[in-house]
Amino acid sequence: MDVARDDKPGVHGYMPNAGILEVRDEVAKYLTEINWDELNSFFYNNHVIMTVGAAGGLNCVLKSILDPSDEVLVIAPYFMEYSYYVDNHSGVVRVVEADEDFRPRAESINVAINKKTKALLINSPNNPTGVVYSKEELNTIGDVLSQASLKYKRDIVLISDEPYKKIVFKGKKAPSVFASYPNTIVVTSFSKDLSIPGERLGYVAINPKMVEAEDLSTAVTLSNRILGSVNAPALIQRVVQRLLHDQADLNIYEERSIFLADALIKRGYELKEPEGSFYLFPKSPIPDDLVFTSLLREENILAVPGEGFGRKGYFRLSLCLDKKMIEKSLDGFSRALEKSRHLFSEETQ
C-alpha cells in the first residue's frame, strides 16, 4: 500500500534500463549475503539487471551472448520454452539427456560440447522433474565447462535458470551455483517463490568473478531495452525490494507434493519423489504419453505430456491446486490407469 500511495514525482517514470538503482543495490546486497560463505565476493548493482520475469531475463542473456548458429546445451527433461528463446536469438539447442533419475550426466555434457557451444542452460530445482542439483553435481558441471573452455579457447557460459530456487523440501536449500564456475549467470524471478507470476518481475545476476562481467552487464541492459521491455515494471520492483528474504508458504507445496506422490504410488504409478519446485513427473503407464494424457483429460485431469519436455513416456502434474481438488482427482487417476492397461493389452494382442 505504501508503494501504491507514493506520489513522489517520477515514481512511474522511465528509469535506467537495468532497473531502479536502490532496488538493484538491495538485490546485490542480498546476493552478497547469501553467497558470501562460498564465493567471498561482493555483488554490486552493475551485476544485477531487473527483468520482465525469468523469461525476459533469459531472452536478454541469450540476445547478449549468442552469435548466429551458436549452440546452447539443455538437459532433458527441460522447460520447452528454452528452444524458442534460443531460436529467438538465432542460436541452436543441443539436447543432452539426463540419467534415468533425471540427474545431469557429466560425461554426456562433455560429449555434447563442441566448438560452437556457447552456453549450458540448467534449471534446478527443475521443472518438470523436481530434481535439485547437489553441490557436487554443480562442481562437476563447472569442471567440465572449465576444461571445455580451455580446449575450445572459448568462454562457455553457464546459465542457471532458478525461478524455483527457494522451493526446496525437507528443510534443505538449493546450493548456489556461483562458486562452482566463474562464468555463471543466474536468471531468476519472483513468479514462483512469491506467487506473483502476473507481475512479471525477475532479474539477471552476473557472477562478480566473471572476467567479462562489466561488458555482459552492459549487453544485458541494452537487450532489456531493445527487446522491447525497456525496463522491468516500476511498482513491483519497489514492492519486492522489501521482500527479498521472503517466500510463499513452502509447506503447502511440500504437503501437496507428498500427498499426491504417495497417493499415485499407492494406485500403481511409478514416480520419483520431487526434491523441490512444484511439479510431479510420473512415468506414463503406457509408452505413449500423448495417449495417456488424453485419458487423464477424459477424467478432467490436465497433465502435460513428457514429450513436451523432451522426455517421452512421462507426464507432468502441477501442484498449484488446492488439496481438496487434488483429493477429488485421485479416482480419476485410477480410472485412467485402468483404461490405459486395457488399451495397451488390446494393442499388443
Ligand X SMILES: Cc1ncc(COP(=O)(O)O)c(C=O)c1O
Contacts with ligand X by CB under 6 A lie at: 53-55, 79, 123, 127, 161, 163, 189, 191, 197, 202
Q: Which is nearer to ligand X, 161 or 208 (CB)?
A: 161
Nearest distance from residue 147's CB to ligand X, in Å? Answer: 27
106 in Cβ contact with 112 (< 8 Å) = no
Q: Which amino acid is at 329?
A: S
Contact (CB, 8 A) for 156 and 183: yes
Min CB(42)–ligand X separation in Å = 26
* Cβ-based nearer residue to ligand X, 15 or 204: 204
For residue 57, the minimal CB distance to ligand X (Å) is 8
Residue number of the CB closest to ligand X reads: 53
Residue 332: which H helix or E strand, with range? helix 323-348
Residue 270: which residues within 8 A CB-CB, separation 6 or more?
282, 283
Q: How far is the CB of 188 from ligand X (least distance, A)?
A: 8
How far apart are the C-alpha atoms of 325 and 282, rounded to whole Å? 19
* Grid cell for residue 59: 531472452
Shortest distance (Å) from residue 177 CB to ligand X: 14
Q: Of 96 and 336, which CB lies nearer to ligand X in the complex structure?
A: 96
Helix 53-65 with 81-88: angle, nearest 10 deg: 40
- 64/277 with CB nearer ligand X: 277
Beta carbons of 159 and 185 less than 8 angstroms apart: yes
Q: Which three cell numbers stand for residue 220?
A: 544485458
Q: How far apart are CA 271 and CA 11, in angstroms?
A: 49
Residue 11 or residue 321: which is nearer to ligand X going by CB?
A: 321
Q: What minimum distance in Å lies between the beta carbon of 126 and ligand X?
A: 7
Do you know the residue count of the chain?
A: 349
Nearer to ligand X, 55 or 109 (CB): 55
Within 10 angstroms of residue 320's Cβ, the number of other Cβ atoms is 13
**Cβ neighbours of residue 102 closer than 8 Å, sequence gap 6 or more:** 77, 126, 129, 131, 272, 281
Query: By C-beta, is 54 or 213 nearer to ligand X?
Result: 54
Residue whose CB is less far from ligand X, 91 or 208: 91
The nearest distance, CB 174 to ligand X, in angstroms, is 13
> Who contacts 342 (Cβ-Cβ below 8 Å, separation ≥6)?
none
CB 18 within 8 A of CB 50: yes
Q: How far is the CB of 303 from ligand X (least distance, A)?
A: 16
3-class DSSP state of 213? helix
